[in-house]
Each structure stands twice: as structure tokens, then as C-alpha cells.
A and B are shown apart, each in its own frame.
Chain A
Amino acid sequence: MHYKNNHRPKTPKGLLLSAIGVLLFLHLPFAIVMLYAFTTDETTFTFPPPGLTTKWFGVAMGRPDLWAALGLSLKVASIATVFALLLGTLAAAAVSRSKFFGRESISFLLVLPIALPGIVTGIALRSMMGLVNIPFSFWTIVIGHATFCVVVVYNNAIARFRRMGDSQIAASMDLGADGFQTFRYIVLPNLLTALVAGGMLAFALSFDEVIVTTFTAGQQSTLPIWIFSQLTRPRDRPVTNVVAFLVVTITAVPILLAHHLSQRDNL
């Protein structure tokens, strides 16, 4: 139903209030974390904060373990995303562009990892790695993250392939373009926004993943794991809030961009 602006029925008060309530419930904790990044309290938090300071940013700057964890997380997320883009796109192309026996089952198996609880994936990967004797390293973390990152990219790519249909590719060939030219001028531009959106989502998922990481990381700490370990140490507690502040900023940007891109495409 489309209403002209001035004829749009008024939102009932109750609905409006519950919408505000849900939004507060979802976002108030973020606001509090953000606020306590600036508190002058050292060990226990009081409300309202006794004073505001930016000194914790300085303290955070001076912590090499924090920067190592952040660096590791960024590296893992980037590489897992690259893997996901390659494998996810190829799998989507195979499933959508050809017909073969068991296609639907394969599609289901590809999506399954994201439906499985992370803890199952984690245990499975850990016992698998133990079985074939792969030592825990940077790469085992990447493999663990790739399991769900591939799915995200695959889902985005296959939806786009489906919407594209076969006739654009046929039309391109008909107009004289060979397979490579068709991929470059028709398939890739059509796919691009889906891949960017899928890639950003994959990056964000990998960046804050805890459960699978605890099972597949050795001695190394990714940022979320580092934060978790900090919570048990009362000293310098606001530093974790500073980090949380940074993490929200780093992950929010790609998610917002991805959302914006997929929205624009649906117009």
C-alpha cells in the first residue's frame, strides 16, 4: 500500500513506544561502553562517571599486547575474507550456472556451517586438526573463520547470479563477446556490489569471532579474545572500553557500507 505523505495513517502510540524501547534495549549498552571509555574510575565503574578523561586512550596506545591482538585480528579477517570471496564466488557460480545431480543438497551443505552453532564448528575443527596433526597457528584461525565467511559471500553471490539469469550472458556471447570478455564486462560488474557487501560482512564476522577462534588458535590472541582475558584483570579496566570503542567503530563502518550497497542495489 502506498499512501501520500499527508494521508499516511498515524503510528499508534503503543507501537512507537515499543519501537523506542527495543532500540534502547539494543543500543544503550553500546552507549554505556562508549561513555566508560572516558571515565576517571580505575577499577570499579560508578554511574554517573565521577569525571571524564581521554587518558585511557593514551594507556591503550602504550600496550603492545593490545596492538598485537588488533593486528592479528585484522590480518585474519582480511585473509579469511579473500579466501571467502574466491571460494564463495566460485561455488555460487558452479551451483547457479550448471545443473547437476545433488545440486540442491550441495547448496544446503554450503550454507549449513552458518546455521551450526559455532561451538560445534569449533570442536569439529579442533578434533580434525588434532587428527591430521596440524599445529595451531595463524592459518588454523584463518581456516576456522573461512568456514562461515565463505557462506556469507556464497549467499550474496548466488542471490545475484539467480537474479541475473542466463539471458544476459547469452546476449553478451551473441553480441560477439567470448567467455572472458563476458565475465569482465557483464558478470563481474553485476556481481561486484554483491561481492563487496558479502566481503564486508565476512570481514566483520571474522573480526569479532570468539568461539571458533578459542578452539582453533594456539597461544595467539585475537582482539576479542584479548578483551575477554582483560575482563578478569581489574586494573586498567577502562582500556577494554577504549578497545570496545575502536572495535565498534571498525566493524560498524563496513557493515553500514555493506547495508548501504545492498540497499542501493535493490532500488
Chain B
Amino acid sequence: MNNHENTAIEFNQVSRHFGEVKAVDSVDLTIQDGEFFTLLGPSGSGKTTCLRMIAGFDHPTSGQIKLHGRDVTNLPAYDREVNTVFQDYALFPHMSVGENIGYGLMIRKVPKSERNRQVRAMLELVQLPGLEHRKPSQLSGGQRQRVALARALINKPKVLLLDEPLGALDLKLRQQMQVELKSIQHEVGITFIFVTHDQEEALTMSDRIAVFDMGRIVQTGTPSELYERPRTSFVASFVGTSNILSGETAQKITGSAQNISVRPEKIRLVAPETETADSFCAADGQVTAVVYAGMITRYTVALAHGQTMIVAEQNLDDVSKSVATSRGKQVRLIWPCSANNVLQDPE
């Protein structure tokens, strides 16, 4: 852990309390240099407060924050080599696009000609060449987003913070920006710390993700680790969809009363009483709802012992007929037992 050369951000037992409310509670976190790291969690989980403490807009009640090995716990925002892309972009409405992007350089008294050169280079990077004389009010949402990004990156920060920057964009534009953000990060090679409540966005973009719940980090890992091996039922149901089996149901299926989670797409629907190999788990039930969603069809199945499970089957063939007729049918659900993930929920 003392290898500061590769550590961009280090949280040491960081807490931020607002009176009785523990917005952030004893968080330990290490983010490697050059990582695309996502803080994921529902609203009020502490992820944004963590970001604000890295930026310097907020300061911990206790604990220590290090930036590239240097203690920045109580430094003001303007003394940190960190820049932020704000949720509402926070462009300065009275300045042109060029002046917005060049603001950080202007503050650092970089000569005007050099400033203009760098502003043009940044506009190239975010694919808005020639727009430096526009006003922010004349830009579309996606363009403002890019200007905000350029305004932050021009200062060559050690870490770039992104506070739900894609929230205001429509789906198509959002997906396009996700790809673009990744490629820009690759190009500039600095650490990106991304805050979002959108688990799909987190999975597609991140190298690693920290999942927040009630002021604490409940799990940190790569997207596939989080998805395949969620540690708690919170992570299992917040990141993607999970079937969580507990108590008697779990006992019957796996032979152990420990809570387990199974992803809906690991399960297949077969005819009742189909024989299965030993490496497969099985459960019997009745289909109570069928939702056709294009790529997949989602079945809700009520198990014999009271729990329900969701099954997502890929629509390899034309399933129009079976979708129409499968409601109410008795079925058997089978899945490889290796897909069972044992949860370690705190009691």
C-alpha cells in the first residue's frame, strides 16, 4: 500500500458526518493511477460526498485523503491538481466557449496566445473544433458536456472527477458519450473517477467499481467480479437483477440454508420432470408473468415453496407463439450449480 507511485487516491478511514447523519462512514479506498474508477450507489449513499471531498468542496470529519501520496485532506479546492466535470456542467454563461475552456489557464496567467493554442487543441480532442466563439447557451446538451470536459482537462489534472455527467443526456447520446469518455481517458492517460447511480453505465465504462450503500463501501471490484460474485444481497440486486434464495428454498435447492443469488440469464426453462445432471440445480414452479423485451423474454416463475424467480431467456428463435402460451404453465428451472453465488449479508 506504500507504493505511492501507482496510487492516485487513497482514503484512510474517511468519515463525513452532518450532525447525526453519517454521509460517509469510515471509508477506506485506494484508486490506482490511470484507472477508470466508478463510485456507484443509490442517491444518499455517500458517493457524491466522497467525490466532493476529493475535489475539496467538502472536508472529512475525520480520516485522511491522499492525492498521489500527498495529504490533501484539508486543502481548498483551488490548491488541488484535481478537476471536476459537474452534473449540470456549470459552464459560465457570460463567457464564450473558448473563455470557459481557457479559464483555468487564464487564472494561472498563461499568456493569451498559448492559451488560445491549447483551447483549440482541447476543442479538437472533444470534437468541437471551431466553436470557441459560441456562448454556452447556443450549444446542445451534448456539446455543453464536451465543453465542460475540455475545461477540466486543459489543466492537466492528475485526477478527473465526473459527477453523473451523462445524467441529463438522452439514451443514444449517453451511450455515444460513454464510448467517447473511455477513448478520451485512454488518450490523456489520467485517472477518471466517475460517480453514477446507473449500474449499467458503471459496468460498461469502469476498470473497477466501488459500490456504496448508506455511507459505506460494500464491495469493490472489476465489473465482472461485482456482477458474477456480488458479496451481499444489496450488491446482487443493485448491480443487475438477481434471484435471491434464502432459508428453506435455498436448503431444498442447494442443500444449505445460506442465502444465494443467481442471475436470471443463467437459468433455463425446461419441461417439468426433465432429468438433469448432478452439476445442475433445479426448481419447479408455475409461470406467472411473461414480458417480451426484444433481445430477451423475461419469465416470472412462482416456486412451489412460495418464492418467485425471474428467468431471462435469449430470444434465439421467434418466440411469439411460446410467449403467448406459456403463462400459467408448469415448468422446471435448471441452472449450473456453479452459478450459485453465496451471499455474506451482515446479520
Residues in A lying within 8 Å of B, measured CB to CB: 165, 167-168, 170-178, 181, 185-186, 189-190
B289 within 8 A of A: no
A189 to B92, CA, bound (A): 10
Which residues from B are CB-within-8-Å of A170? 55, 57, 77, 84, 86, 90
A136 to B151, CA, bound (A): 57
B117 within 8 A of A: no
Which residues from A are CB-within-8-Å of B220? none
**28 contacting pairs across A/B (C-beta < 8 A):** A165-B88, A167-B87, A167-B88, A170-B57, A170-B77, A170-B90, A171-B84, A171-B86, A171-B90, A171-B151, A172-B103, A173-B56, A173-B76, A173-B77, A173-B78, A174-B55, A174-B57, A174-B84, A175-B78, A175-B103, A175-B107, A175-B151, A177-B78, A178-B78, A185-B103, A185-B106, A186-B92, A189-B94
Q: Quick one: CB contact mask for B47-82 with A, threshold 8 Å, 1 for yes?
A: 000000001110000000000000000001110001
A168 to B148, CA, bound (A): 11
B104 within 8 A of A: yes
User: Are B92 and A174 in contact, CB atoms less than 8 angstroms apart?
Assistant: no
Residues in B lying within 8 Å of A, measured CB to CB: 55-57, 76-78, 82-84, 86-88, 90-94, 103-104, 106-108, 151-152, 155
Q: How far is the CB of B80 from the nearest CB of chain A, in Å?
A: 8
Which residues from A are CB-within-8-Å of B87? 167
Which residues from A are CB-within-8-Å of B91? 171
A173 to B86, CA, bound (A): 13
Which residues from A are CB-within-8-Å of B92? 168, 171-172, 186
User: Are B104 and A168 in contact, CB atoms less than 8 angstroms apart?
Assistant: no
Which 9 residue pairs of A and B lie closest in terms of their CB atoms, listed nearest first? A167-B90, A171-B90, A175-B104, A173-B77, A176-B107, A189-B94, A177-B107, A174-B84, A176-B78
Which residues from B are CB-within-8-Å of A189? 94
A171 to B92, CA, bound (A): 9
Look across to chain B and name the residue whose beta carbon is closest to the beta carbon of A170: B57
Look across to chain A and name the residue whose beta carbon is closest to the beta carbon of B87: A167
Which residues from A are CB-within-8-Å of B82? 174
A20 to B86, CA, bound (A): 50
User: Are B83 and A175 in contact, CB atoms less than 8 angstroms apart?
Assistant: yes
